[in-house]
Every structure is written in structure tokens, then in C-alpha cells.
């Protein structure tokens, strides 16, 4: 993802969100359809008609991607895989899985559901065009539906490429996993395939740039770079699980704590704590124990001129399930919580008492060290 997402609606219990980067894709699709594709495909229509055709095409693409990702999500739910929601961004969409699939069969069925859904949409759109031509439907409408048939066909075909994290790559991983019983090896191989395919797209983008197709070249290159990064990230996530699964948070927490009183001013918090210790979040305590956490995110919400009057107690985030974990919690679950909430530092409690902090920076550093020392690639 590129930034914060905006929740649009909910369907079948899945929240559908859109990343701000999706607006770039929507504008580009509308512009290219209204200014290039439809005027060439259906000549003689008014500029206003082409504009509305472009808008309708972009909306249809929006719905098609949601349908594709929804099919993944429904199958994932069937096999007990939690999905946080569906997010659309500049390169398409993603069903946000919280965990790895439980079996190779579950992954294969979840992955293949997307291309099947897109293929069915393509077929249904093609049938509608044939029916419309027989009944004299407006040519502008038929052109939009015909384009949606084409784009869903391309969506299905592209996602069948055996390159992780595309659907075809997940199908490849599932097959290798089923064959060998080793999900780590299967992920590394399919992720390497994704990295190679990404490199091919980047090379294709450079060739298009040299030949004068600037827009197409940029898109190929961007998609290639995205796929390479996503493939590497997917393998890293699996390595992270291998390293931390079954290990309690207490093993990785920091015990040397810097806490702040709840009654000091924001100005003193900044001067005596943030600028001295450089932490992004500090536990807030009083005589009763830990009361919450305060850090950069809360300070930025206070106008600079009010730092000398606002108190930590007024801006802190109270202790909750989003900023605290128990010492016995599996470290993998702590990482999931960090990813879901965006909190990079979690307070560790034992019998309700603050005993440490677990930080994303320390966990990532440990992953790097272990992979370096153990020769992981």
C-alpha cells in the first residue's frame, strides 16, 4: 500500500477500502478510454459521450477488481483464513490476509477463485454484447461492456502467470508445497519466479520507453518493480513467521524502560524525553501503574503554541488491546497487531503490570541478524 486507505463500504462482511493511489489509476483509465480507445473504437460520437464512456469503463474496472478480490476472500473465509478487507490501489486490488493458508489445497482454491471470477465476468460481458447487438442496444453502451469483457480476460490471464504474489504464483506455491510438504522452499521458489517476471516487465518497460511508448513503458516498469518488491516481502513474511512462531514476547522485549509521568506538559515531554531518548512512544505511568502510551503521533495533534499548557494525560492513548500485549503472547501475533494498528512499539504487561516494550525495529534487526548468520537467502 502507498498510504492511508479510505473505507468505502462493506460487502459480505468484508470492508472495501481505496488507497489514495487508486485515484491516479481511475483518472488515467478514464482519460485513456475517453481520449483514445473509445474514439477509435466507435467513431462519430460526441466528446461528452466519450467522457461518460470513460467514466463508466473506470467504474466497471473498479467493480471487476472488487469482484475478483471478493472471490478470493469468500474462499479464504470458507477455509478459516481471516481477511481484514479488500483494498484497491494503483496496481489493482488485494484481499488483505492476516495469516498464511492452513493447507496447500486451501491456498490453491483461494488463488484460482480470482481468475475464474474474472473469466466469468469476461464471458458474461461478451454474452451481453451479443444480446445487445441483436436488440439494437446503444453502441456506446455495447462498447463499454465489450471493453470490460476484454479487460477481465486480461485480468484473468495476467493473474495466471506463475509468479508470486500473482494468483498463478500462489497456485504454483500451493502445488510445490503439496508436492514437497515444505512451504518455505515453495515460497522461495515461487517468489523467485515473481522477481524474475518483475524484471522481465521492467525490461519490457525500458524497451517501450526507447521505442517512444512513454506511458506504456512507465506502467510496465512500475508494475515490474511492484511485483519484485511484493515477492521479496512475501518471502520475508514467511521467514519472520519461521523465526518467531512459538516464541513468547517476553523473549524479545526491552526491559530497560523509559516511562513518563502523566501530569507533565507536552513541552517537557518533547524536551526531556523525545529529544533525549529518541523513542516514538513512551509508556505513561502514575502511582497506580501504567495508564497508557504517548508519542509522536499524539504530540503532532497538539498545536505548537499549546505545548507548554497541554498535559500528557490529555493527549495519551489509554492502555488497550491495540497498544499492549501480554508477556506470554506469541511474537508472531504481536507482529500482526503492529501491522494491523500501525503501532511500532507495544507495551508488555504481566498480571497487569508493565514489564517491558516490544519494538518493531528490534524485531526486524533480529530477523536481519539471524538471516545473515544462518545464511538465509
Identify whether 165 is preceded by a cis peptide bond (ω within 30 of 0): yes
Instruction: Count Cβ atoms within 10 A of the Cβ of residue 327 and give its class: 0-12 exposed, 13-18 middle, 19 or more buried.
Output: middle
Count of C-beta atoms within a 10 Å radius of residue 314: 14
User: Looking at residue 251, what DSSP letter applies?
Assistant: G
Q: 69, 96, 100, 247: which is the annotated catalytic residue?
A: 69
Question: At CB < 8 A and 24+ separation, what contacts does 217-220 make?
Answer: none
10 is catalytic: no
User: Looking at residue 132, what DSSP letter applies?
Assistant: H
Paired sense of beta strands 281-286 and 260-261, if any = parallel
Cα 289–Cα 333–Cα 76 angle in degrees, nearest 5: 140
Write down the residue that cell numbers 506511458 correspond to: 215
* Interacting residues of 337 by C-beta distance below 8 A, sequence separation 6+: 322, 325, 343, 346
Measured in whole angstroms, the distance separating CA 41 from the mean position of its chain's CA atoms is 35
What are the catalytic residues?
69
Amino acid at each position: 500500500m502507498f498510504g492511508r486507505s479510505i473505507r468505502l463500504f462493506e460487502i459480505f462482511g468484508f470492508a472495501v477500502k481505496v488507497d489514495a493511489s487508486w485515484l491516479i489509476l481511475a483518472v488515467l483509465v478514464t482519460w485513456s478510454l475517453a481520449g483514445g480507445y473509445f474514439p477509435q473504437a466507435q467513431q462519430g460520437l460526441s466528446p461528452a459521450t466519450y467522457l461518460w464512456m470513460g467514466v463508466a469503463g473506470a467504474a466497471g474496472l473498479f467493480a471487476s477488481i472488487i469482484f475478483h478480490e471478493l472471490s478470493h476472500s469468500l474462499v479464504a473465509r470458507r477455509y478459516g483464513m481471516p481477511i481484514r478487507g479488500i483494498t484497491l490501489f494503483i496496481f489493482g486490488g488485494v484481499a488483505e490476509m492476516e495469516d498464511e493458508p492452513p493447507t496447500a489445497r486451501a491456498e490453491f482454491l483461494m488463488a484460482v477463485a480470482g481468475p475464474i471470477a474474472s473469466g466469468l465476468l469476461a464471458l458474461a460481458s461478451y454474452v451481453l454484447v451479443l444480446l445487445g447487438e441483436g436488440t439494437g442496444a446503444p453502441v456506446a453502451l455495447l462498447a463499454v461492456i465489450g471493453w470490460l469483457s476484454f479487460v477481465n480476460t486480461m485480468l484473468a490471464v495476467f493473474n495466471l502467470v506463475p509468479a508470486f504474489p500473482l494468483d498463478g504464483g500462489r497456485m504454483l506455491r500451493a502445488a510445490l508445497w503439496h508436492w514437497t510438504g515444505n512451504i518455505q522452499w515453495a515460497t522461495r521458489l515461487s517468489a523467485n519466479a515473481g522477481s524474475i517476471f518483475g524484471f522481465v516487465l521492467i525490461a519490457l518497460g525500458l524497451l517501450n520507453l526507447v521505442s517512444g511508448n512513454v506511458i506504456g513503458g512507465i506502467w510496465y516498469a512500475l508494475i515490474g518493480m511492484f511485483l519484485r518488491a511484493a515477492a521479496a516481502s512475501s518471502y520475508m513474511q514467511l521467514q519472520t513467521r519461521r523465526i518467531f512462531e512459538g516464541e513468547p514476547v517476553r523473549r524479545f522485549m526491552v526491559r530497560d524502560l523509559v516511562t513518563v509521568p502523566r501530569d507533565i506538559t507536552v513541552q517537557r515531554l518533547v524536551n526531556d524525553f523525545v529529544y533525549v531518548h529518541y523513542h516514538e512512544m513512551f509508556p505513561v505511568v502514575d502511582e497506580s501503574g501504567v495508564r497508557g502510551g504517548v508519542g509522536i503521533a499524539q504530540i503532532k495533534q497538539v498545536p505548537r503554541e499549546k505545548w507548554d499548557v497541554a498535559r500528557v494525560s490529555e493527549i495519551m492513548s489509554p492502555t488497550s488491546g491495540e497498544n499492549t500485549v501480554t508477556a506470554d503472547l506469541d511474537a508472531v501475533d504481536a507482529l500482526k497487531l503492529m501491522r494491523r494498528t500501525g503501532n511500532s512499539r507495544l507495551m508488555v504487561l504481566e498480571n497487569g503490570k508493565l514489564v517491558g516494550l516490544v519494538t518493531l525495529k528490534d524485531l526486524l534487526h533480529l530477523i536481519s541478524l539471524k538471516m545473515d548468520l544462518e545464511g538465509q537467502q
